Homo-oligomer: A and B are copies of this chain.
Amino acid sequence: MAAATLARRLGRSGVLPLCCRLPAWDRATRPPPSPLQPPGLPLAPCRSFSNNKIQVELDESSGVAMMKFKSPPVNSLSLEFLTEFSISLEKLENNKACRGVIITSALPKIFSSGLDITEMCGKSLEHYTEFWRAVQEMWLRLYGSNMVTVAAVNGSSPAGGCLVALSCDYRIMAENPKFSIGLNEAQLGIVAPFWFKDTFVNVVGHRIAERSLQLGSLHPAPEALKLGLVDELVPEEKLMEKAAAVMAQWLALPDHARQLTKTMMRKAVLDRLVAHREDDIKNFISFVSKESIQKSLRMYMEMLKKRKS
């Protein structure tokens, strides 16, 4: 147990924790939390990286960033959203004060609805290329992040939204059977890309992935827990508290060893997309630029517009 306590104190210093009296904390230069600071009101150490669609706050005292999707109505993954997402991840990754990030939604009932269909409709080949590259980029950064990533899934999370959750280190979902999660692409006549599938298989295993992907299932929260798609359910009002507790547990480990272990587990799947990135883009373009697909997309969007009004 002494070793564990020690490890907790070591933080990022990582590889040196076999001893108890090391000059441990290698980020001693950052200011300690002020003892005068009132609880619940972190003044100095909280830095905001918020931008248009994603709100980011870093609590430098704990090393934990909170990332909230805030792109009404349903946090769909548009090119702009994805770009902001990747930039935010990169900023946090490069910030030595940040060791972990909790990802959640600032909107009620929805975590993220997945890829934005309007990005796939009536645009140029250049646009499709740029869009798909942004989807890949987001996943490469998130699945390969050196930070501890915890998804606090406080609403439904279909398709690309599910991918975001699956790419984190840990998934906590609000205990609400009305919220569902899954890679439901097949329901829409679309095939999930191979790296969505790889990520899914790494979480739930081959058999559950095969069945769920073929049926395009959206699993209500209790079923998602049973299948291992999420790690635990908590009442919605306790979600953030639980996410913080889980984050603290993961941050108790020395960063360096944890990061190398994570890389060891995920490298094969990350490398596979890197090796086939251009083919994957070509596949997407050839699919999306079919006249038949374009026609259905246009009609689908019109239907959505009418429903709103």
B-binding residues in A (CB < 8 A): 2-4, 7, 10, 13-22, 117, 169-170, 185-192, 194, 197, 201-207, 209-211, 213-216, 228, 231, 249-250, 253-254, 256-258, 260-262, 264-266, 287, 290, 292-293, 295-300, 303
Once the chains bind, are A254 and B186 in contact (CB under 8 Å)?
yes
Once the chains bind, are A265 and B210 in contact (CB under 8 Å)?
yes
CA–CA, A297 to B119, complex, Å? 55
Once the chains bind, are B303 and A19 in contact (CB under 8 Å)?
yes
CA–CA, A289 to B157, complex, Å? 48
Known interface pairs A4-B216, A214-B265; 17 further A-B residue pairs with C-beta atoms within 8 A, sorted by A's residue number: A4-B187, A7-B188, A15-B287, A15-B290, A15-B292, A17-B189, A18-B190, A19-B295, A20-B300, A21-B299, A169-B211, A188-B257, A197-B264, A202-B206, A210-B265, A214-B258, A215-B250
Contact status of A253 and B187, CB under 8 A, knowing A194-B264, A292-B16, A299-B20: yes
CA–CA, A206 to B292, complex, Å? 39
Contact status of A297 and B205, CB under 8 A, knowing A7-B187, A213-B265, A261-B214: no
CA–CA, A286 to B79, complex, Å? 44
CA–CA, A14 to B216, complex, Å? 13
Report B-chain residues with C-beta under 8 Å of the C-beta of A3: 187-188
- 16 A-B contacts (beta carbon < 8 Å): A3-B188, A4-B216, A16-B189, A18-B296, A19-B303, A22-B296, A185-B261, A186-B261, A191-B264, A194-B264, A197-B264, A201-B206, A203-B206, A205-B206, A206-B265, A216-B257
Once the chains bind, are A18 and B117 in contact (CB under 8 Å)?
yes
Across the two chains, which residue of chain B brings its CB closest to A296? B19
What's the nearest-Cβ distance from chain B to residue A266, in Å?
8
Once the chains bind, are A204 and B207 in contact (CB under 8 Å)?
yes
Report B-chain residues with C-beta under 8 Å of the C-beta of A205: 205-207
Best-buried of A2, A18, A194, A257 by chain B (most CB within 10 Å): A18
CA–CA, A262 to B298, complex, Å? 28
Report B-chain residues with C-beta under 8 Å of the C-beta of A256: 189
Report B-chain residues with C-beta under 8 Å of the C-beta of A17: 188-189, 296
Report B-chain residues with C-beta under 8 Å of the C-beta of A249: 215
